[in-house]
Amino acid sequence: DAGVTQSPTHLIKTRGQQVTLRCSPKSGHDTVSWYQQALGQGPQFIFQYYEEEERQRGNFPDRFSGHQFPNYSSELNVNALLLGDSALYLCASSLGLEQPQHFGDGTRLSIL
């Protein structure tokens, strides 16, 4: 039973560029959430997708956008990258209202 998988594992970009991160949820899960974890901090909620729509959003600018596909996989897009966007980006998936969120190993994004 595959867990949550994320790609790529590491990524290096420069300021002003755009990036796309990908996530495949755990088998059977239909909801995907994205979190940003800065070094030494707890994860911060970015947004959540269910039925291909953004259902909840945290305190992140519009430079952060996402998408969910019919197979429940998801992408996180970040435009006009800033140095402060350097972080570990975590994807979590869940099923329904009674199941907790399970996390992938994340994508480490470094901005030069």
Partner 1 sequence: GEDVEQSLFLSVREGDSSVINCTYTDSSSTYLYWYKQEPGAGLQLLTYIFSNMDMKQDQRLTVLLNKKDKHLSLRIADTQTGDSAIYFCAESWDTGRRALTFGSGTRLQVQP
**How many angstroms separate the CA atoms of 90 and 28, rounded?**
19
Q: Report the nearest approach of partner 1 to the CB of residue 14 (Å).
A: 24
Q: Among 35, 39, 36, 18, which Cα is nearest to 81's?
A: 18
CB of 31 closer than 8 Å to CB of 94: yes
Q: Report the nearest approach of partner 1 to the CB of residue 37 (Å).
A: 9
Contact positions vs partner 1 (CB under 8 A): 4, 6, 31, 33, 35, 40-45, 48, 50, 55-56, 58, 90, 92, 94-106
For partner 1, give the closer residue by CB, 58 or 75.
58
